[in-house]
Structure 1
Amino acid sequence: MNKATKGIVTRVRNTFSPESLIFLSIIFVLALLHYFYHDIIVLGHSNSIFYLNEEFSLGTLFSCIFASFSTLLALKHFRHTKAISSLVWSILLFGLCLDEYLSIHEYLNEFIKRISNQESLFVNMAHYSWVISFGIGLAAILFIFFIQQLRSTKSRAHKNLLIAAVICYSLVLPLEVFGGQRFGRESYIYFILVEEVLEMLGTVFLVELFIRKNAEESIA
């Protein structure tokens, strides 16, 4: 291992907690499994458990674990500080966990298409992608919350983690739209890989954020 590589490894170890490092390692393994074994069927499943876009897959399992863990960390911070923002974070992260397991956004998009006028622009957008029909509006609301969080956060390290999480989550939306147009092509596999990895990374950044916040509260 050369000096540059050692420097990177040391910096990563100094930046992330052991829990976050474990999660990052899992994400790396999941990415490799998706890339090399996305078409391999095991354990009698109808779909590959290595394919990150399947509802019942290793990707979904660990995404739920990451989101659940971050939810508990946010709740712990709320219990100690009574900060409403931490309660909001816990609700958002729990919602992310439920959506990972139940694909709520897909069912909501189908519901919108059923109840709306079949000739309306709104339904046409819903057919294009859930991101267009309601994802952009949801993202705008969350962006306002993120900006408020950035303004109220004094620690530069905390701000960097929050910004990293926001960037990861924000990139998921255009990837969802453009990747969906490539469904059935080989390139779709790579869009899914990047999209799902970014989403998991965003959650891990929030895990690290609340680990640090809780550690600081215990010291105080």
Structure 2
Amino acid sequence: MRILLIEDDRDIGEGLTMALKRHGHAVDWFTDGKQGLIAVDSVDFDLAILDLGLPTVDGIDILANWRSRQIDLPVLILTARNALPDRVKGLNIGADDYLGKPFDTEELIARLSALLRRQHGHADNSLCFGNLSLNSTTKTVTLNGELVTLRSKEFTLLEMFMSQPTHIISREQIEDKLYSWDSDVDSNAIQVYIHALRKKFGKAFIKTQRGLGYQLGDKP
């Protein structure tokens, strides 16, 4: 997932960025409300984690702006404003979930997974394609019941394909999901990950649609 994090507390921001990256997510972190507000105009993020008390633009105003422009990005509000009126206001404006500070990182990651499942219309945390199964919570993949070991980026790419098995996904879309703005991307990195998945699940598992991108092919 490509996650937008808008949080001005540097300890929380650094800790969350590290934790989310360990779970295989690309993270773009902003400490300034105005910068975070306009970030959605440049990147197709999967989720946003939004603090409320931010410099230059308050988190509630950011959320109201997004919703007024029909930006349906799933948003989890993360804030020390735990009073009931604040929670109700945030949810009424368009937040999808709310977590107060202090918080448990594993709970936050579980809530993000739940938001993403709802966004893609999945009832649980499992995806299946033929005899291949992926669990987004446990970060496990099995083929014919046998555990398959994947690197972090390989898992994220596989989850991306299995979430939309009929779609053609461009190289640019893949790079957007796998890498944040401050990441260095090797010119052949995507091909390397595609090759790794084909090696594990069959040469025809991922089809190349010339000039367009990649698409799931034969079920393993």
| Superposed pair shares fold, TM > 0.5 | no
Structure number with greater CO (CA < 8 Å, separation at least 6) is 1
With normalisation by structure 2, the TM-score equals: 0.22
From the two aligned structures, give the one with the greater strand fraction: 2
More helix by share: 1
